[in-house]
Amino acid sequence: MQVCLDTLEHRGRGWEQSFSGTGCRCAGDVGEDEDMHADYRSPLLGLADAVSGGGIDAPVAAHYGSFVNEQRTLEADEGFVDLSHRGVVRVTGPDRLTWLHSLTTQHLSDLPPGRATATLVLSPQGHVEHAMYGVDDGESFTAHVEPGQAAGLVEWLDRMRFMIRVEVSEVTDELAVTWRPAARVDGAPYSGYTLVSRADLQKYADAAGPACGTWAFEALRIARGEPRLGLDTDHRTIPNEAGWIGNAVHLDKGCYRGQETVARVHTLGRPPRRLTLLHLDGSASRLPARGADLVRDGKVAGFVGTSARHHELGPIALGMVKRNVPLDATLEVDGLAASQQVLVDPEVGLHVRPTLR
């Protein structure tokens, strides 16, 4: 993740195609904090053909004419996505990395400048309370979070300061989040995010274009199996269920809040639930409601999170499925058939050998 305005070669948009219908279901209450950005509306909604999103992503564009073409643009490592409604938190001070290392799930004490990372804040019982994605520049650690979540994270971090040389602040009003496929690092999860000055957001769009909407971004994110906190998870989710082990949780570090649960489930294997990529029946012209029950043989087997229309895979979604549901079972959600593609092995752990693939 870069904290600068890159010098980019401008590329014009090459389509005028429009598409009617819903391309993504990401709306819903995720426990947003009241903050000064509650009425935020991205200035990039003024770009040609911009159509605003819905729910939590309403402040930014869902698409700019064709979310299908925009997916292809992003897969070609071109363009960018406006995610300027996300919250941004900054931690400064000489003790910032060792302090964050002691509080969160990731190994941060030796984090080199410029390397993007993800880390979680857990409850004492191991449930995920905050997820942040950030980078250190040698002087400060700057991270972005789901819309409306920055104030709550800053408040919690402030309470954790005891005779330590750190300062925590929300800088959402200064920095805007974007995502550029060209900025991704091969093999690095959650890379490609860029922080730019809000004052330069329009200049950035002119340089980094073409602009692509959240519907295209969400379809590719879901296909990668990357969950969004509060949308693809619930208040009971532990990192082992959501595929965050290794990506946002380091297993060879010292104690942090909630570590006992993570270590126990990793050691014994068999997390209670598992994040799953769902391939939905494409004959219907709709997507399931977020939070709808996943059903097997008349019994609730989990819930569905975000969903989208992928330009190659068709309608897809992320679901949280109970561990004892067979991997080859066809589920039903909101009247739609859903087949499973495994993201989290229901058996895997330190002393349990994975049997998949």
State pLDDT tens for residues 65-86: 999 999 999 999 999 999 999 9
Percent of the chain clearing pLDDT 70 (strictly above): 88
pLDDT at 44: 98
Binned at pLDDT 50, 70 and 90, residue 38 comes out as low
CA–CA dist 130, 104 (Å, integer):
9
CA–CA dist 151, 168 (Å, integer):
11
Q: Token digits for 119?
A: 């880390």
Mean pLDDT of 121-130: 98
pLDDT at 110: 94
State pLDDT tens for residues 195-208: 999 999 999 999 99
What is the CB neighbour count within 10 angstroms for residue 351? 8
Q: Which amino acid is at 193?
A: Y
Task: Give the residue, 131 or 354, on which the prediction is more confident.
Answer: 131
What is the CB neighbour count within 10 angstroms for residue 237? 23
Is pLDDT above 70 for 100? yes
Q: Calculate the alpha carbon distances from 136 to 89, 108, 295, 304 in Å.
A: 12, 10, 43, 34
Is pLDDT above 60 for 357? no
pTM of the model: 0.89
CA–CA dist 143, 131 (Å, integer):
9
CA–CA dist 67, 50 (Å, integer):
11
Least confident window among 13-27, 136-150, 209-223: 13-27
Task: Give the residue, 9 or 148, on which the prediction is more confident.
Answer: 148
List Cβ neighbours of 256 (8 Å cut-off, separation of 6 or more): 102, 103, 104, 105, 122
The residues with which 320 forms a beta bridge, in sequence order, are 275, 303
What is the CB neighbour count within 10 angstroms for residue 9? 6
Is pLDDT above 60 for 27? no
State pLDDT tens for residues 154-176: 999 999 999 999 999 999 999 99
Mean pLDDT, all residues of the chain: 89
List Cβ neighbours of 202 (8 Å cut-off, separation of 6 or more): 43, 44
State pLDDT tens for residues 216-227: 999 999 999 999
- Complete domains list, the chain, with CATH: 1-270 (3.30.1360.120)
State pLDDT tens for residues 265-324: 998 888 999 999 999 999 988 999 999 999 999 999 999 999 999 999 999 999 999 999
State pLDDT tens for residues 105-114: 999 999 999 9
Is pLDDT above 70 for 42? yes
Respond yes or no on whether the N-terminal peptide bond of residue 210 is cis (omega within 30° of 0). Answer: yes
Mean pLDDT of 114-134: 97
Residue owning tokens 């067979």 = 326
